[in-house]
Structure formats: structure tokens, C-alpha cells
């Protein structure tokens, strides 16, 4: 019988998953089945986040977006994803990675077009200054003083 890992190590299955999204209601359907386990939070990380994300068949990682300040990196663990960027589509499989520098306006997201769940690591900065731009939606994410984000339409009105 093996012992449970002791911090700073952990078994990702012990981290409670978050499902869905905080997007305004009209934008939630494509990400409704998304599941994220905040591994970085569970390990006490504060300058960058790490999520173990699982997408069901047909699921999206997010609406296509880019970040004003924070870098984002993904590493595919299991399954096949389609990366959609301003430049087109690319299929990613296990062991493949992609990076998105903050401040580069290249909208991106991942789609699971396969018949089984896909898992990947999602790693990103936590500058507190970062905003999110969504080129295909009437949506922006802006930082709040408590380090979270709130959603506005492109005119600057809150949802």
C-alpha cells in the first residue's frame, strides 16, 4: 500500500474540480462541460497558475481570447485537441505544447473534436494587471482590485 503524497506534492485527483465558466450566461454553453483542477492554488503558488483541465467531446477551453499582460502555456497530456488561432487551426496531441505571450493580439482557444475526453495542463501568469480580449464576442475581461476579473461588453458596460 502506497502512502499519500505530502505537500508540496499532491495527487491531482484530490483537488476539487471547477466546472463551467464565470462567463456571462450567453457565452457559457461551449465551455459548460469544461473541468479545471487548480493545482497551482492547491500548492500555494501565487505568481502563476496551473490548471489540470479536462474537456469533454465537443468542449471548448474558452472563447477565443488573448491576454494583455500574462503569458499562457498549454501542454497536452492525453487525447487530441484543435488549437484555433488567428492563423488557423492546428491539431495537438499528447506531448505537444503551445505558448501565447501576453500582449500579443492572437485570439486562441482549444476545441475537443474527438469522441473522448482530453486533458492538458494550462499555465499562466497572475500579474493582476491582465485583461482579456475576446475577438469573436462582445466581451472583455478586466481586472478588479481583489485580483479577480469582471466581464464587460466592448462598450465598457457590465454584464
Tens digit of each residue's pLDDT (9 = 90 or more) over 35-83: 999 999 999 999 999 999 999 999 999 999 999 999 999 999 999 999 9
Whether residue 27 is preceded by a cis peptide bond, meaning omega within 30 degrees of 0, is no
CATH code of the domain containing 73: 2.60.120.10
If DSSP states are collapsed to H, E and C, what string results for 28-51?
Answer: CHHHCCCEEEEHHHHCCCCCEEEE
Note whether residue 143 is domain-resident.
Answer: yes
Global model pTM greater than 0.85: yes
At which residue does the C-alpha cell 486533458 appear?
119
Does residue 106 surpass a pLDDT of 90?
yes
Is residue 29 in some structural domain? yes
Enclosing domain of residue 83 = 12-152
Q: How many distinct structural domains can be found in the chain?
A: 1
7 occurs within a structural domain: no
Q: What percent of the chain is predicted at pLDDT more than 90?
A: 91
Amino acid at each position: 500500500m502506497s502512502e499519500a503524497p505530502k505537500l508540496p506534492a499532491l495527487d491531482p485527483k484530490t483537488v476539487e474540480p471547477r466546472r463551467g465558466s464565470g462567463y456571462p450566461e450567453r457565452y457559457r454553453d461551449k465551455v459548460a462541460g469544461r473541468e479545471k483542477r487548480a493545482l497551482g492554488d492547491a500548492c500555494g503558488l501565487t505568481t502563476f497558475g496551473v490548471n489540470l483541465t479536462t474537456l469533454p467531446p465537443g468542449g471548448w477551453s474558452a472563447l477565443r481570447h488573448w491576454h494583455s499582460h500574462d503569458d499562457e502555456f498549454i501542454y497536452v497530456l492525453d487525447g487530441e485537441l484543435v488549437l484555433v488561432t488567428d492563423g488557423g487551426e492546428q491539431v495537438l496531441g499528447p506531448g505537444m505544447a503551445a505558448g501565447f505571450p501576453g500582449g500579443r493580439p492572437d485570439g486562441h482557444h482549444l476545441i475537443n473534436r474527438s469522441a473522448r475526453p482530453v486533458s492538458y495542463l494550462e499555465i499562466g501568469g497572475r500579474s493582476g494587471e491582465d485583461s482579456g480580449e475576446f475577438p469573436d464576442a462582445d466581451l472583455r475581461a478586466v481586472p478588479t482590485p481583489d485580483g479577480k476579473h469582471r466581464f464587460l461588453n466592448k462598450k465598457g458596460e457590465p454584464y
